[in-house]
Chains A and B, each alone.
Chain A
């Protein structure tokens, strides 16, 4: 299994600012994903983070709002840009290894936008 850490664990931000969330995996993973969990809701996939190329976004999510980087096999960042209170959520990253059929999740970043 993979151990995934995220920074920051939580933050409170002002409207109009941006926040970058970091995700670090303790071993190389083939796939990394970013999810959003709005208050009282289930998880929604934002995008698949691809190493060395642009992320693949799900319907309803765009690169300008959620730019993602993945410079290597163990690290990825998600930026929430030009934030509004509607962006208040928990953001989680996950990863799965070569040939694996299980995704392991980070502890999440709890974001509150005022």
Chain B
């Protein structure tokens, strides 16, 4: 069975401070893992993805995530938060790696607030 647990429903940081959004997954197979961001009244945008290459994945807007198989984690980080980072973030696991047939399992989301 596949599932995703986002450990924090809300995270608040000050602008310029580091961001950490936590995600743990459960998968019967080697997973593909994604982080998507959803800004208010906007669609989902892919931030980054892990598909069995390097375990440290760099994405857009300075975000990165590290796949840790031993910990079944895929936490999202950014060294310095910007006001424009305020949004909802979804951790997602796909069952069929490298296949167009893979369905996505979404975490419940983490709302990131950035204070000036």
Q: Which residues of A contact B (CB under 8 A)?
A: 4, 30-31, 33, 41-45, 48, 92, 94, 96-108, 110
CA separation between A70 and B24, bound complex, in Å? 35
Residues of B within 8 A of A108 (CB): 43
Name the contact of B100 in the complex, choosing from A4, A31, A106 (C-beta under 8 A): A31
CB distance from A108 to the nearest CB of B (A): 5
Tell me, rounded to whole Å, the shortest Cβ–Cβ distance linking A107 to chain B.
Answer: 4
A104 pairs with B46, CB closer than 8 A: yes
CB distance from A59 to the nearest CB of B (A): 12
B103-116 to A contact mask, C-beta < 8 Å, 1/0? 11011110000000
CB distance from B35 to the nearest CB of A (A): 12
Asked if A101 and B90 sit within 8 Å, CB to CB, the answer is no
**Complex Cα spacing A105 to B101, Å:** 16
CB interface residues, B 58-116, toward A, < 8 Å:
90, 94, 97-104, 106-109
Question: Could you say which residues of chain A place their CB within 8 Å of the CB of B99?
Answer: 101
B44 contacts chain A at the CB level, 8 A cutoff: yes
Q: Complex Cα distance A94/B31, Å?
A: 20
Whole-angstrom CA separation of A92 from B102 in the bound complex: 17
Q: Which A residues lie within 8 Å of B106 (CB)?
A: 42-44
Nearest Cβ distance between residue B43 and chain A, in whole angstroms? Answer: 4
| A99 partner residues in chain B, CB cutoff 8 A | 98, 100
Q: How far is the CB of B26 from chain A (nearest CB, A)?
A: 16
Is the Cβ of A100 less than 8 Å from the Cβ of B100? yes
Q: B102 touching A101 by the CB < 8 A rule?
A: yes
Q: How far is the CA of A41 from the CA of B106 in the complex (A)?
A: 10
Contact of B43 among A31, A48, A92, A101 (CB under 8 A): A92
